[in-house]
Structure 1
Amino acid sequence: MRTPIRLLLSALALTLPIAAQAQDTLYFSAIPDEDETRLSERFDKVADYLTNELGVPVEFVPVKSYPAAVTAFRNDQVQLAWFGGLSGVQARMLVPDARAIAQGDEDQNFVTYFIANTKTGLTESDDFPMAAKGMSFTFGAKTSTSGRLMPEYHIREETGQAPEDFFGRVGFSGDHSQTLRLVASGAWQVGALNFSVYDQAVSDGAPEVETARIIWKTPPYPDYNWTIRGDVDARWGEGFADRVQAALIGMDDPDLLTAFPRSAFIAATNDDYAPIETIGQQLDLLE
């Protein structure tokens, strides 16, 4: 009795690696530096763009926290991710041969804004706001580069004290948008956030910028980056990582770029983030 061909194919499929049974979907994620709705609006469009450019299915996978983004990358739940400087370093340390392949043009010289509720009386200055001593202060996410790592580094450098010693109360909002909302409402007197989120709020005419004003800007540092796993060429073919890099650098649709917001993407390497790794180790934020 001849076995039907469909049964033979089914049996064969059970013996093959999952990746070989069908064309793999490339999954990517991003650190949740803003609310989930805005992130999905941004990255679902990016997924469509990459699908067209690469000729393979690409899907965006939302995550709930910065550590969750790193874990998803480590566990191969996503193969590509839009990380901050620190989370990118963390992810690359956990995945052999993972590499940064692109960054926004603005990410070469990123800055953090320190903002204060207008009721504090603090105003913008080129000097660190020493008058904020004893006030309440919120970072963003605990492993955010622009919302925690670099603000804490500069607080320590400028004051000679840990944040908990300089400020009266210290907390973590979870993301940049929330930092802006909380400082604007007066729940926290002072906070630190990603400059692009604040500038976007100004462009959008958000009411929060009326009561949460910039008081100090950090010196520049490298930040966000696209990082890809080191095993993607073995799965999608030789040179696939380079193709992804070329697709990201070639992203010139104003709607896609404005959503980040970035003016363009440029090539990046792991070495670009050596300063972030050094500071992360100094502050004991890297394992």
Structure 2
Amino acid sequence: MNRLARLLVASLALVGAAAHAQQVLRVTAIPDESPTELSRKFAPLGQYLEGKLGMKVEWTPVTDYAAAVETVVNKKIDLAWFGGFTFVQANVRSGGKIIPLVQREEDEKFRSVFITDAKSGINKLEDLKGKTLSFGSQSSTSGHLMPRSFLLGAKINPDADLKRVAFSGAHDATIAAVASGKVDAGALNISVWEKFVAEKKVDPAAVKVFYTTPAYYDYNWSVHADMPQALQDKIKAAFLALDPNTPQGKEILGLQRATRFIPSKPENYNGIKAAAENAGLLK
């Protein structure tokens, strides 16, 4: 073998090694529920993606919403489950380099709910004046940004008109805070509320919804624009192919609380960005 041939073989080996090293898809999600619940929900989806993509899929939990944003912006994570607000934050931080691939059909018309003890006497947003209220995470779309936006629209300034505002960190923690009497009311993701009611983890006769917001765009699965287009296309196709009429599709979609996945685009979140700017939450 002459010198040129040896160099060619060595180069191909290096390329092959580099390609092999990249055959791991690192995935995370904003921690809007407990770590064990997020891991449980992702496990069958991860197995499905491994089969569809022909590569290892690695679940990497993060400690908070800000960490989810930073890991994708810095390309330490390849695929992330964002809320609308965290997507906007990541897109702004990256100079427009974050791409929302897909969203659940439900995310076209997502809502938040305000809940309270059924005996609290709180029946409308105006009744919150002088009361205590828990949001979820400060960076949560459905647990903070949009509930705050609708409060401001009703001429209620949470920081001035309420006795105290707290942040539970996650939607399930908000339910627990209201149910235990730590706060008078809470605002959270309607999907998590409905799941808790269906699983009998909360008694709607004891803790009630007293206000449901108008609809807005919310969650999506996003990637960095520097991801090879072919891989972006394969990931999108895998989500769009999930079929509720198959056992695997039914399980995954059920855990994701989705009817089906549909394509998404950055423009869907212009309203979220405007709401964040108006509330002074986008920095």
Work out the CA distance in 2 between the residues paired with 1:211 and 1:71.
39
The answer to whether residue 38 in structure 2 is matched with residue 39 in structure 1 is yes
Work out which of the residue numbers 259, 270, 273 in structure 1 matches 2:269: 273
Residue 119 of structure 2 aligns to a residue whose secondary structure is helix
Q: What is the alpha-carbon distance in structure 1 between the residues aligned to residue 46 and residue 146 of structure 2?
A: 30
2:118 aligned residue: 118
Q: CA RMSD in A?
A: 2.1
Q: Which runs of 5+ in 1 are unaligned?
A: 1-8
Q: If the length of structure 1 is used for normalisation, what is the TM-score? A: 0.88
Q: For 1:92-150, what per-residue CA distance to the aligned partner results, in whole angstroms no more than 9, with x for missing partners?
A: 22335321111111100000000011231234xxxx42122111101000010000000
| Alignment-derived partner of residue 166 in structure 1 | 161
1:262 equivalent in structure 2: 258
Opposite residue 244 of structure 1, the aligned amino acid is: I
Q: Bigger CA drift: 217-226 or 94-103?
A: 94-103
Q: Which residue of 1 aligns with 2:232?
A: 241
**1:260-287, Cα deviation, whole Å (9 max, x unpaired):** 2111111100011111111112222222
Contact 1:201-1:209 within 8 A present in 2 as well? no
The residue aligned with 2:4 is: none
Contact 1:136-1:167 within 8 A present in 2 as well: yes
Please say if residues 181 and 208 of structure 1, whose CA atoms lie closer than 8 Å, have aligned partners that are also in contact. no
Structure 1 residue 12 displacement after superposition = 8.0
Counterpart of 1:175 (choices 167, 170, 179) is 170
2:206 matched to which residue of 1? 211
Contact 1:114 1:215 in 2 (8 A): yes
1:232 to 224, 227, 230: 227
Deviation digits for residues 202-249 of structure 1, max 9, x if unmatched? 11011354422100001000000111111111xxxx422111111111
How many residues align? The count is 269
Residues 1:194 and 2:189 aligned together: yes
2:49 and 2:57 in contact (8 A); partners too = yes
TM-score by length of 2: 0.89
Q: Distance in 2 between matches of 1:179 and 1:81?
A: 23
Instruction: Give, in whole Å, the separation in 1 of the partners of 2:232 and 2:194.
Output: 32
SS at match of 2:154: helix
Question: Are 1:148 and 2:144 matched, yes or no?
Answer: yes
Match of 2:89 in 1: 90
